[in-house]
């Protein structure tokens, strides 16, 4: 009986240790998965009802018969002319913006490698700014309902897989709005690189002209829209909180 009892106790102890170890490994794996900032779900800093209604600020986009449209046309043709160049290839990549891409794209501007692993708070800031831009640009895009250049002229864009014949949301440019908004936030975090940061933000906007998804006036007003959105964000406690986390993270790693 004693021998059997000892054997049972040993088996019980070994089994207990096994399950404890398994639970530890599972918990560690869960923590690691939960630590991947790219898997997190984000919300904008405000919704489109709280956002500034940009259609009350921005001018009406130029029509085809407006003398101002000549510049839009000239820039559209310029974009087409350089699509087969290295700059054109960059423009195609710039079409796929998200928080991770912003980190990569702005890295040369701040002279350091920005990754989600090393800069999770900055990633969170960029992700939420991108979502906020969508809320801020919603009413203006719906109000103006401008056709995109490739739709207007029935020509293939530089990013065919993104084309949608029913997507009449060219004005103002959302990509530019988001890129300029991120640039403004990053420049205020790293003022020493303001020029290179905003140069990158400018190039991101021009990429939309190159691929034929936006007129130049769409892009120009996207930058103005971003400035308005950024000013509005300064009064948002949630933005201030996340901005400060990103600023401290960036400064600490300098």
Domain-wise residue ranges, the chain: 1-34, 39-252
Catalytic residue among 105, 146, 208, 223: 208
Q: What confidence tier does 34 reach under pLDDT thresholds 50, 70, 90?
A: low
Residue 214 bears catalytic tag: yes
From 105, 214, 223, 247, the catalytic residue: 214
Would you say domain 39-252 falls under CATH 3.40.190.10? no
Task: Quickly count: other Cβ atoms within 10 Å of residue 96's Cβ.
Answer: 11
Specify the pTM: 0.86
pLDDT in tens, 228-251: 999 999 999 999 999 999 999 999
The kind and range of the H/E element at 239 are: helix 237-252
Sign of CA dihedral 78, 80, 81, 83: positive
Q: Where do we find the tokens 């897989």?
A: 161
Is residue 26 pLDDT above 60, yes or no? no
Residues making up the chain, counted from first to last: 254
The stretch 24-53 carries a mean pLDDT of 75
Q: 28 pLDDT exceeds 90?
A: no
Active-site residue, selected from the candidate residues 175, 177, 193, 223: 175
Over 90: is that where the pLDDT of 111 sits? Answer: yes
- Catalytic annotation, pick one of 72, 94, 190, 218: 218
Dihedral over Cα of 24, 42, 45, 195: its sign: positive
Contact 119, 250 (CB under 8 A): yes
Q: How far is CA 78 from CA 60, 75, 120, 154, 210, in A?
A: 23, 5, 38, 17, 7
Q: What is the mean pLDDT of residues 101-119?
A: 98
Q: Establish whether 218 is a catalytic residue.
A: yes
């Amino acid at each position: 009986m004693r021998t059997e009892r000892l054997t049972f106790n040993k088996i019980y102890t070994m089994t207990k240790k096994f399950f404890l170890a398994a639970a530890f490994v599972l918990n560690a794996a869960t923590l690691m998965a939960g630590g991947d900032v790219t898997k997190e779900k984000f919300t904008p800093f405000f919704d489109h009802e709280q956002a500034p209604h940009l259609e009350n600020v921005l001018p009406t986009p130029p029509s085809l018969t407006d003398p101002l449209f000549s510049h839009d046309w000239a820039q559209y043709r310029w974009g087409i002319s350089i699509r087969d160049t290295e700059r054109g290839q960059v423009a195609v990549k710039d079409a796929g913006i998200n928080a991770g891409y912003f980190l990569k794209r702005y890295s040369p501007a701040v002279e350091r490698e920005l990754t989600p692993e090393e800069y999770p708070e900055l990633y969170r800031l960029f992700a939420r700014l991108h979502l906020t831009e969508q809320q801020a640009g919603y009413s203006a895009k719906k109000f103006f309902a401008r056709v995109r250049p490739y739709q207007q002229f029935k020509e293939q864009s530089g990013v065919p897989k993104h084309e949608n014949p029913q997507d009449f949301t060219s004005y103002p440019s959302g990509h530019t709005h988001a890129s300029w908004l991120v640039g403004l936030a990053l420049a205020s975090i790293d003022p020493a690189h303001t020029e290179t940061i905003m140069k990158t933000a400018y190039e991101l906007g021009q990429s939309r002209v190159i691929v034929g998804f936006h007129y130049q006036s769409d892009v120009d007003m996207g930058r103005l829209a971003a400035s308005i959105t950024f000013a509005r964000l300064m009064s948002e406690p949630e933005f201030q909180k996340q901005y400060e986390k990103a600023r401290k993270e960036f400064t600490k790693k300098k």
